[in-house]
Chains A and B, each alone.
Chain A
């Protein structure tokens, strides 16, 4: 199987190791990975802030780029995948060519963990990680894409792992896109609350599928010198010898 990786702008700019890990894991599972160097962003920052024209502009670029091919597109982010799968089609009126094209793109776009479990039918990547780990359900992944079991299955099958569910794993971490800076105080307070639940689990690592949530949590954790590390699911699953 051959897929195209939509790596997301944040991963490209700030967390390239997440993208590399996703590539490594997919290849291990026998998937060939293409990366179109012309890709940029899904349009979410504008869309979530109410700038529909600007979001449409970027989303149209995405449509032109991925066109009407049939290769699955894999996205290592719940919220970017939700943008493509749930929101982007709605940027155009029903029945319009762009809407149809966006719907086709939506249908062949998969969030990373969902692709591995639901499409490849795989739960074990051969990763080994002898640590205590908890999992944070990111909101768009959970409530827009309804994905919660897939990442957990993958985490549980990592060799040596001590997986500990935290209480309130589905509670928002407070990132929320531009909300994080528009309402920084609320955002941070929500993050601190989330961190208390993470700490309550006793885990040393918090795993998530969205680098945006993890960036926010990691920023708070480091500022407060709390010895909990954030880890993207792809990074966890890539912890095997080449």
Chain B
């Protein structure tokens, strides 16, 4: 079971993390507002993207088959993996067959989801993350704390210290020197690795094109220098037509990194053809399910699969802003993580995730494909409670409490009696100074209790509220 609670205190007391979150997320928010404001029909684009996604997800099998056909027609190989394990096994076998011992990787959340790096290492293959943020995280033996900005939790100084330790860099706080160090090291890896693994932002069914959006050129090097390119793609990343890409790109880069367009947008149509100068001799597309078709089963919840991983919901989420990404203990963090994790795994595995939200709705407001995250959270909370009652491994105190509450709230008599008892108890507790003991301490640790009004509204209305 994944828990969030144990991490909260340390996240809140980590002043460096708090500072990093504030600075980075603050900058992104301002910049994003500006680039979004430039697009006059932004809301229309969101609605359109939502519709395209809804349509695609409702005919997912069809479009995936079309994608498969068109990728294969261009000389690529397509593999379907029900579980992460199958995808991993395919990659290992491929590497083994060619005696490949080192892999360069561009950023892929799916790679994180199936624990690609750990598994490659276990099988004697060295994975090198080539996205700067991912590389920092890999060097520090950490996991990404944000789906777009993986090393968001680290400051420039922390990165410099890491590079001094791991790469022998001469101490400096000059960003250019720090990135140049990474660049020099990574160049050597690009030249010596014989397999490149990338994620996929969009797979265009109509043309068999794989789209990889990036800013550092590392994905382009990963797909052009090594002899084998393996792209791993979640089933939901397929889009029907090339024309749809323009809408999604506009939404993705503006929302993710506040850019009108990212520095590189790679459109990859299979492997190198005869007469072409570069590109891999083999291209493999691994289509990974890993729990996605299960999400598809529920007509309301399936919109979770519309996500294009822009990460904007994390940036605007006051909970994420407060605790950062690592506290979620899951591949996907923030609001999208809170709805994706319990569905990709199970509500038993991640029962806290749907509750770690104030349901403020800022995520839905920013979501480029209009996923109703707060309403999905509510639905998942219901699933968690149902599953808890079915299991009943411990006393269902909360359910009993709310059952009693609903019994009280459906009768004016019971409401009045309970009200009198509660008031007497509250006065007693206040007098004995027990306000700061459990269960009240959950409130009173940091907040005063409201002062008890001498009379309720209904009493006062009866006395003085009557129409004069």
Contacts and interface: CB of A to CB of B under 8 A. Distances in A.
A52 B12 CA distance: 33
Contacts of A46: 402, 405-406
Interface centre among A40, A174, A223 (most CB of B within 10 A): A40
Interface string B372-395: 001000101111111000000000
A187 B449 contact: no
Nearest to B399: A51
Interface stretch (B272-280, B284-292, B353-361): B353-361
A176 interface: yes
B443 A172 contact: no
A38 B358 contact: no
Given A19-B461, A220-B447, A13 B412 contact: no
A215 interface: yes
B456 A13 contact: yes
A143 B364 contact: yes
Contact of B8 (A11, A55, A170, A183): A183
Contacts of A219: 443, 446-450
A231 to B, nearest CB: 14
A152 interface: no
A55 B399 CA distance: 12
Interface residues on B, range: 35 or more
A140 to B, nearest CB: 8
Nearest to B362: A172
B44 interface: no
Interface residues of A, number: 70
Given A179-B355, A193-B322, A215-B450, A47 B378 contact: yes
B166 interface: no
Given A189-B12, A219-B443, A49 B359 contact: no
Contacts of B9: 185
B445 interface: yes
Interface in A18-61: 19-20, 23, 27, 32-33, 35, 37-38, 40-41, 43, 45-52, 54-55, 57-58, 60-61
Interface string B422-454: 100000000000000001001101111110110
A57 B410 contact: yes
Interface string A130-155: 00000000011011100000000000
A177 interface: yes
A182 B383 CA distance: 17
A16 B384 CA distance: 35
Given A185-B8, A186-B322, 11 more contacts: A15-B450, A19-B457, A23-B461, A37-B412, A40-B408, A60-B410, A179-B358, A180-B443, A181-B442, A190-B358, A220-B447
Interface of B: 4-5, 8-9, 12, 318-319, 321-323, 354-362, 364-365, 374, 378, 380-386, 398-399, 402-403, 405-406, 408-410, 412, 415, 419, 422, 439, 442-443, 445-450, 452-453, 455-462, 464-465, 467
Interface of A: 7, 9, 11-17, 19-20, 23, 27, 32-33, 35, 37-38, 40-41, 43, 45-52, 54-55, 57-58, 60-61, 87, 139-140, 142-144, 170-172, 174-191, 193, 215-216, 218-220, 222-223
11 contacts: A20-B461, A32-B467, A49-B402, A175-B358, A181-B443, A183-B355, A185-B12, A193-B322, A216-B447, A220-B446, A223-B447
